[in-house]
Amino acid sequence: MTIDITSNTDKDAAIDAAIDGNVANGPSKDTFYLTTPIYYVNDVPHIGHAYTTVNADFFARFHRMAGEKVFFLTGTDEHGQKIAQAAEANGVTPIEWADRIFPGWQAVWDRLEISYDDFIRTTEDRHTKPVQELVQRLYDQGDIYLATYTGPYCVACEAFYQPSEIIDGLCPIHERPVEWIEEENYFFRLSAYADRLIELYETRPEFVQPDIRRNEVMSFVKGGLQDLSISRTSFSWGVPIPWDPKHVMYVWIDALQNYTTAVGQGRDEERFNRTWPADLHLIGKDILRQHAVIWPALLMAAGLELPRAVFAHGFLTVGGKKMSKTSLTGISPHLLLDTFGADGYRYHFLREGTFGQDGPFSWESMTARYNADLANDLGNLVSRSLAMTTNYFDAIIPEPTGAGELETTLHEVARRAGEQMEVHVRALNPSAALAEVFEFVRAVNHYIDDTTPWKLSKDPAQRDRLATVIHTICEAIRQISILICPAMPAASRRIREQLGVEPEELRPLSESLPQGSSLVGTKVTKGASIFPRVEVEKTD
Ligand code: ME8
């Protein structure tokens, strides 16, 4: 639903309603809309970028499994000085450079099984045209004016800074020299939105998460907002300012709008209304101000609804500092994928650390967790269970003959894991969600140790009991295959194949988890190990 702005009073009322969240539930919105940042194509991805995207994919898959309609957007940010410089250094035009680099991003997402619904490139017409229209509208209504900008600019961040934020001439994030620019630029009246932004953070605290980031943004805005330079004249690689094409748009003004152009801004109102506002913009804390200050102010000016939440996670660090391409500490996802596979990779970056906080990356802890949780706990559980089913019941899952205390306890653990997983995912805590799932995995291993099916198998009088035990184990594995699906889709598929359950039968979580006897009579196939152990030497 777009807000109709016919007069200033109406505009103020519309903005107030948007801040209160009163229009945040457009009547036709029917889609859970989730985004990652669009990444710069100055270079190839490193594991920091994949960190955001893997976590976003986990949320997208979870919401789909919960039966919701989901739209999951990612893409590439292709304008600006940083990309122009990369192209120049490589002797090609910026668009040639972008065309060369962006497939490498998609290739990584494919290897990681990222289930994005759309991939937007900011050089596409479907993006640039609506962006120009919107900026023209802001100009026409008096939100943009011409003045001279003097101050520091970091090309690596593509961000303007206050002189007071520059430490010894260096950018506070990249620790690289900033440029001092003095140019005639168009400015957006950002300062006019300061009070409304503060009201937004106060009345809708979930708008910026986690809390520490909201406090940070709040004090930044309370410290005084300057108007924002939104055009540049010293280079030409950007979206032209429609009324004055010797200016190109500041890359962030174009980039942020990817979230709205991808869902039909200015082109397809019906689609836009079904999808916008975004439910969740997932970003790193480096681009918090752009998302929690500039973006809502622009949307207020444009009379569009505000996103429901911006969650800024912490950094993967190397030597205590942000891993980055600029500082040459970026590790290629391919390197880890070769050793750990997509599932091992995804699991690590979902499970390790607390989403929101910084965390160091280390091969040793990745290997240790992979071997403990995936190779030992889950992989061995599946292989020994299917081996027992094969040996004791000719690979046909037997009918249970009645549940005892141990079975009831295990069912209770399963129920709790499903329930708690959902609670943690909705609180944007993938690590805690997976901890619950692996509690269940360990409980199944304990159940096997307690029921000792290998002993039961030696006693013909215990045949019925053995049938119950094997059925219970197989059923638990089926449930685990569902719970791990948002995190490890390939392992989920392979477990289901080995169990003889069609992968496409994966139903919404709520329907799939209850105990059923659907597995009785199913033929299992013991396949290759799902998580082969990784030797520490191999990762050296
Ligand atoms: O900022 N740890 O693109 P970008 C965790 N184009 N996450 C990291 C990370 C690290 N060490 N390094 C990068 C841009 N990221 C803009 C965004 S959106 C409208 C425009 C992730 O290629 C994290 O999500 O520099 C961070 O915010 C993003 O990559 C920055 O990617």
- Residue to mutate, 36, 38, 49, ligand 1, most ligand atoms under 8 Å from C-beta: 49
pLDDT: is 128 or 321 the higher one?
Answer: 128
How many whole angstroms from 53 Cα to the centroid of ligand 1?
A: 10
Chain-centre distance for alpha carbon 120: 15
Written as six digits, the tokens of 101 are 């680099």
Q: Which residues are catalytic?
A: 46, 49, 154, 157, 171, 174, 322, 325
| pLDDT at site 347 | 98
Mean pLDDT of 318-324: 85
- Reported as a pLDDT band with limits 50, 70 and 90, residue 537 is low
Mean pLDDT of 375-396: 97
- Considering the chain, what is the average pLDDT of its residues? 92
| pLDDT at site 12 | 73
For the chain, the helix, strand and coil percentages under 3-state DSSP, each to the nearest 5: 55, 15, 35
- Reported as a pLDDT band with limits 50, 70 and 90, residue 503 is confident
Work out the percent of the chain whose per-residue pLDDT is above 70: 92
Spatial separation of the C-alpha atoms in residues 436 and 413, rounded to whole Å: 9
| pLDDT at site 479 | 93
Predicted confidence (pLDDT) at residue 23 exceeds the cutoff of 60: no
Spatial separation of the C-alpha atoms in residues 463 and 392, rounded to whole Å: 9
**Paired strand residues for 284:** 313
Domain range summary for the chain, segments of one domain joined by +: 8-330, 363-512
Mean pLDDT of 462-490: 96
Show the ligand 1 pocket: residues with CB < 6 angstroms.
37-40, 48-49, 51-52, 77, 255-256, 258, 283-284, 286-287, 315-316, 322-324
Written as six digits, the tokens of 82 are 């940083």
Mean pLDDT of 484-496: 96
Mean pLDDT of 289-310: 98
Instruction: Give the single-character DSSP code of 402.
Output: -
Q: Is the peptide bond before 210 cis (omega within 30 degrees of 0)?
A: yes
pTM of structure: 0.94
| Least confident interval from 124-128, 328-332, 334-338, 385-389 | 328-332
CB neighbour list of residue 113: distance below 8 Å, 6 or more residues apart: 57, 342, 346, 489, 490
- Reported as a pLDDT band with limits 50, 70 and 90, residue 540 is very low
- Ligand 1 atom, smallest distance to 316 CA: 2
Q: Give the fold, CATH level 3, of 8-330.
A: Rossmann fold (3.40.50)
Highest mean pLDDT among 11-20, 212-221, 225-234: 212-221
Enter the CATH code of domain 363-512.
1.10.730.10
| pLDDT at site 2 | 36
- Reported as a pLDDT band with limits 50, 70 and 90, residue 80 is very high
Residue recorded with tokens 């986990």: 58
| pLDDT at site 504 | 66
